């Protein structure tokens, strides 16, 4: 059995902060069977200055965006370094998703803030980032990537749903896609209602509203929802297709929130039905994580709808609810270092599975134990040899 301790870092479109998760992964490398234990985790809230910078990133000129890319690399490195020092952690590796500014798979590009070489200067272990680009180059969506980790860490669960800025679903690595916008819309509407609110606590504002059928029909009729997976969403699509429909001059904010919650739960219930190939009478489990899982009003509606489709919400611990995506990116980073596939083509639509992620070496001495570093080096060398052998043999899916 192998055991590695790493940190995963995640920043989502809802801008609620930087999730940092320190976890141990224990597994059988030869049979590729893994378990996890979250040991420490924290959300570092963004300051008003950083929230504003990230929110405006899509509007920046080229030179300003490049500067922000490097500045965010410093921010990530400093945040992780402080976390490690405060908790007194021994870390084998760190992996970060970065903060997505652009995601346009139809144009074959994506961009996540956080220069890897810059971040690595704060660390004493390997740093992995840039997980999406290779999959796009291979013709895929570059997202969602979390189902590629759920396949190993949550294999006992039929479906995994994350209610983050964007709601996505994964089915044991066999299928996964972005279902609809979620907290990125709910949080913006809550702030429109009351500038002091960062989000709608327990869905209290939404619970006061009523569903506006004409608006709901417009939302449900958006072309994206008719497209088959693989598919993914970016903030560009939300800005173009969603926010123009949510006119607070035509509807009250409580009504907008109530209608959008109805839309979210419709989309999720429909996705559960699409992913399900269950036998008559069998009940399947759904793991729901992310900030939206704490929205009591949304969850009450959702549980009723998915229960009608034969699904039962699986109970889990609060750390998994809050930090599952950061946890998964730690796991994906570990697989990058081990030279093992970490992006699954059947989920993203790319031409083949891949070992994705850029590895950045620290300028400081490693803190990981020699045996772990030796194991990483051995496995990376072994997998490179396997890769080259298959390549020379004409095997395409390498």
Rounded CA-CA distance 338/196 in Å is 46
Rounded CA-CA distance 138/183 in Å is 30
Residues of the chain with pLDDT under 70: 277-281, 366-380, 382-384, 386-388, 390-391, 393-398
| pLDDT value at residue 1 | 85
In our burial notation (b when 16+ CB lie closer than 10 A, e otherwise), range 226-244 reads eeebbbbbbbebbeebbee
As a dihedral over the C-alpha atoms of residue 306, residue 307, residue 312, residue 315, rounded to 10 degrees, the angle is: 80
Contact present, 102 and 58 (Cβ < 8 Å) = yes
The two tokens of residue 213 are 């059928």
Write out pLDDT tens, residues 217-262.
Answer: 999 999 999 999 999 999 999 999 999 999 999 999 999 999 999 9
The two tokens of residue 159 are 């479906």
Count the neighbouring beta carbons within 10 Å of the beta carbon of residue 172.
18
| pLDDT value at residue 185 | 98
| pLDDT value at residue 387 | 62
User: How crowded is the C-beta side of 115, counted as CA atoms within 13 Å?
Assistant: 12
Q: For residue 286, what are the contacts with CB-CB under 8 A and spacing of at least 6?
A: 157, 158, 159, 160, 161, 272, 306, 311, 312, 313, 314
| pLDDT value at residue 398 | 42
Contact present, 10 and 97 (Cβ < 8 Å) = yes
| pLDDT value at residue 383 | 65
Count the neighbouring beta carbons within 10 Å of the beta carbon of residue 313.
16
The two tokens of residue 310 are 């034969």
Write out pLDDT tens, residues 359-381.
Answer: 999 887 766 656 556 666 666 67
| pLDDT value at residue 67 | 98
| pLDDT value at residue 286 | 96
- State residue 395 phi and psi, 5-degree precision: -80, 120
């Amino acid at each position: 059995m192998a055991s590695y301790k790493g940190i995963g870092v995640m920043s989502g479109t809802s801008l609620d902060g930087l999730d940092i998760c320190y976890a141990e992964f224990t597994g059988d490398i030869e049979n590729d069977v893994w378990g996890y234990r979250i040991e420490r985790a924290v959300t570092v809230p963004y300051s008003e200055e950083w929230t504003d910078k990230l929110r405006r990133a899509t509007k920046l000129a080229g030179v300003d965006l490049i500067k922000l890319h490097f500045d965010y690399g410093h921010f990530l490195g400093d945040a992780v370094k402080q976390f490690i020092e405060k908790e007194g952690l021994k870390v084998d590796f760190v992996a970060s998703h970065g903060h997505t500014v652009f995601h346009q798979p139809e144009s074959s590009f994506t961009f996540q803030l956080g220069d890897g070489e810059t971040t690595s200067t704060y660390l004493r272990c390997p740093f992995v980032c840039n997980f999406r680009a290779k999959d796009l180059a291979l013709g895929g969506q570059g997202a969602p990537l979390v189902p590629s980790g759920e396949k190993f860490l949550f294999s006992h669960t039929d479906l995994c749903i994350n209610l983050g800025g964007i709601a996505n679903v994964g089915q044991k690595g066999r299928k996964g896609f972005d279902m609809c916008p979620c907290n990125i819309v709910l949080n913006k509407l809550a702030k429109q209602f009351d500038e002091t609110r960062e989000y709608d606590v327990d869905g209290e504002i939404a619970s006061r509203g009523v569903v506006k059928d004409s608006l709901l029909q417009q939302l449900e009729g958006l072309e994206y929802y008719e497209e088959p997976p693989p598919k993914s969403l970016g903030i560009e699509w939300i800005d173009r297709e969603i926010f123009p429909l949510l006119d607070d001059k035509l509807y009250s904010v409580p009504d907008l929130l109530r209608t959008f919650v109805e839309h979210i739960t419709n989309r999720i219930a429909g996705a559960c039905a699409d992913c399900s190939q269950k036998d008559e009478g069998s009940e399947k489990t759904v793991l729901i994580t992310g900030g939206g899982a704490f929205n009591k009003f949304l969850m009450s509606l959702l549980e009723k709808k998915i229960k009608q489709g034969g699904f039962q919400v699986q109970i889990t611990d609060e750390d998994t609810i809050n930090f599952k995506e950061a946890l998964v990116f730690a796991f994906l980073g570990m697989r990058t270092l081990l030279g093992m596939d970490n992006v699954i083509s059947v989920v993203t639509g790319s031409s083949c599975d891949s070992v994705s992620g850029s590895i950045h070496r620290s300028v400081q001495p490693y803190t990981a134990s020699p045996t772990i570093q030796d194991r990483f080096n051995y496995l990376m060398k072994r997998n490179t040899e396997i890769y080259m052998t298959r390549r020379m043999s004409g095997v395409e899916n390498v």
